[in-house]
Structure 1
């Protein structure tokens, strides 16, 4: 079903991979890309469970928008191991205006397809989505 605002459909694989990350922890992260010609959101890259945050950051293009899911593991002050699913709307200042508009107008509809997101970040550069930012939003 296409999004009325931007006309973008969400490929079934997007939801499937998200469910695998959420339920089975099959991936550390997922990077999603909007394929304008096909008018749909597709999976661009999957991160192995052993991949680091640096691997994740490096997989986001410098000059193009993306959506990303990151499975953030942390230890609470009470020494409990926890995990939060972080949604990142990556929209670097250097990306094209049209791309920023398409990603912005499709974001809410896309997010609704992924049930279980616990933290949402909007980032225009890597400092806005660093581990310290995610950690501060996890408590």
Structure 2
């Protein structure tokens, strides 16, 4: 369970570092400092891109595009239930952006951890997991 939480947290940090409603994110920093810090913007952008490639490739290999859609649909349905029962208000645009970051990080975290989740549920291992 700790491995899954760590993978989700890394996905959350990756997404939040790229964009979030505060002024502390790569998109706003790069737009503000484009003229003065272009080499650092390119370097940090490539590092973020590598993180996205790792997460997206692993997620697509483990659960596929349809699985990503299903996980996102479950998260969206959960938010709908919370909104329908009045436990969640969607008036705050910053909160909506954070909810989107959490939802997308959950999809990436589940995708990266799917082999561990499936193994704990079913007791079966993947061919990739034989070494563990």
TM class, shorter-chain normalised? under 0.3
The structure carrying a bigger strand percent of its residues is 1
Give the structure with higher Rg (CA). 2
TM-score (norm 1): 0.24
Higher relative contact order (CA 8 A, sep 6+): 2
